[in-house]
Amino acid sequence: MRIIIVGAGEVGYHIAKKLSEEDQDVVVIDRDPAKIRRINENLDVQTFLGSGTSPRMLRDAGIEEAELLVAATDSDEANLVACLLARHLNRYVVKVARVKNQEFVREEDLFKKDLLGIDLIINTRAMMVETVLRLMEVPGASEVIDFVGGKVKLVSFLITPESPLAGKALSEIRCLGGNFLVGAIVRGHRILIPGGRDTIQPRDLVYFVSRAGELAEALGALQGGVLEMKNVMIIGAGDTGMAIAKALDERRLPVKLIDQDRTRCKEAATGLDRVVVIRGDGTDRELLREENAGDMDLLISVTGDEESNVLISLLGKDLGAKKTITRVSKLSYMPVVSALGLDTVINPRMTAVREILHYIRKGRIISVAPLREEQAEAMEAEALETSDIVNVPLSKVRFPRGAIVGAVIRGEEIIIPRGSTVIRPRDRLIIFASQKVIPQLEKLLTVKLEYFG
């Protein structure tokens, strides 16, 4: 399948990386020679130096034979124009555009149906707000991903040295009660797909699946108590900070919003009702102490500066904040953030990449969530009658090492599998797998990663 990606920024780069690793024919267009060089050095894709809003460039890139166009530049207008041209040059191409302007997002139908026929609009800001809210519903989690329309949740959380799980073998964890299954462990740079004998260590990021209804119970068992999200501090009143503050304001939660910029503070104070707006430097320890950062249940750092966000969260933790959410856009920092002790990191680009991949893969493998650094995936797949995995107990199935079934969904029922569980045809499975074994897994499931159904 030929895929054209306009914009070789972080989002474009990672989508290109992911898709080229899956043997798709990827073409990337960007105006910046440095970005093009970076792609050429690291990825097996074809590159064109030029503007994605040039019809000639799109033709050179093979838009006529392309099946998918992803417009992921930093400019909304460029993305929309690229989609417009693409629609004209190839009526059947599927178009995905990244759009930031809230105005555009609100008029979604205009761009989707009436004007441009864009198939998917990605708005990272809205997605981030949603992520933060979802994380607050599942206190303690670092990441929450929905499967089967939200009936099953994939949750990750960071193991602190005090956690009752630290040092325990996976086989012991079952005795703690709670109906869940640990599917993957991120330890530093590596992703383990664990077996019963592996132990959990402090600073691990643990991924598990659970039924939506039993999530609180499972988390309680895992963390030795349920956290409550009451007091929230947001640092950075940019677009994201404001959007989060607004959402929390509507829920009547006590929120403090800190920003350095006078006009932004003023705007925030005008636009929000209950939120306490404070003007000051978020990296100032005294200010944080004065505003009782230590008593906060949640501290959200979403300033425009990556490095400051990390430091603010660390400061907050040091002062005693129970939980932090940190925005980090640079994907190269991702492997070290858990090691630093930051529990939750939200990454707008990663979110965008995930959303796009999720959208374009609509075969038997229904949804896919790349986990940290994309070395492993959680995927939802249907068990086919022809496959070797059905009608035998799971313990007898010859699963590749590095893959594990996290949940079985049969109609309305959600089963957290054990060795004796038998998979029946048409069951839906949630499988954790490291990238390497995905081809073997596809063979076992007798499916191929398919696109667009």
E strand or H helix at 100? none
CA distance 382 to 391: 14
Residue 291 sits in the site that holds other proteins (CB under 8 A): no
User: Minimum distance between the CB of residue 7 and other proteins, rounded to whole angstroms?
Assistant: 17
Among residues 22, 25, 198, 291, the one that binds other proteins under rule CB under 8 A: 25
Residue 15 CA to residue 368 CA, distance in Å, equals 13
Interface with other proteins by CB under 8 A: which range of 26-34, 206-214, 253-261, 403-411?
Answer: 26-34
Nearer to other proteins, 271 or 439 (CB): 439
Contact 124/73 with Cβ under 8 angstroms? no
Tell me the backbone φ, ψ of residue 156, rounded to 5 degrees.
-120, 145
Considering only 22, 40, 292, 319, the residue that binds other proteins (CB under 8 A) is: 40
Structure tokens at 33: 């020679």
By CB under 8 A, tell whether 56 contacts other proteins. Answer: no
Q: Which helix (H) or strand (E) holds 255?
A: strand 255-259
Q: Does 21 bind other proteins (CB under 8 A)?
A: yes
For other proteins, which is the closer residue by CB, 52 or 178? 52
51 binds other proteins (CB under 8 A): no
- Alpha-carbon distance 336 to 239, whole Å? 26
Q: Which 3 state secondary structure label does DSSP give 331?
A: helix
Q: Is 44 in the site for other proteins (CB under 8 A)?
A: yes
For the CB of residue 54, give the shortest distance to other proteins in the complex, in Å: 15
3-state secondary structure of 146: strand
**245, HSE (Cβ side, Cα atoms, 13 Å):** 30
Kindly indicate which of the ranges 37-45, 71-79, 252-260, 414-422 contains the residues binding other proteins, using the contact rule CB under 8 A: 37-45
Considering CB under 8 A, how many residues would be counted as binding other proteins? 17
CA-only gyration radius of the chain, Å = 23
Instruction: Identify the DSSP state of 175.
Output: G
The least distance separating other proteins from the CB of residue 33, rounded to whole angstroms, comes to 7
Pick the binder of other proteins from 23, 137, 172, 385 (CB under 8 A): 23
H or E stretch covering 39:
helix 33-42
Integer CA distances (angstroms), 107 to 69, 102, 103, 111, 306, in order:
21, 9, 7, 7, 31
Using the rule CB under 8 A, give the single segment among 36-44, 97-105, 121-129, 263-271 that binds other proteins. 36-44
Q: Choose which of 34, 41, 162, 262 interacts with other proteins (CB under 8 A).
A: 41
Who's near 204: CB < 8 A, 6+ residues apart? 158, 159, 185, 186, 187, 338
Nearer residue to other proteins within complex by CB, 58 or 159: 58
Q: Which stretch binds other proteins (CB under 8 A): 38-46, 72-80, 339-347, 396-404?
A: 38-46
Question: Measured from the CB of residue 21, what is the shortest distance to other proteins in angstroms?
Answer: 7
The residue ranges that bind other proteins (CB under 8 A) are 2, 20-21, 23-27, 33, 40-47
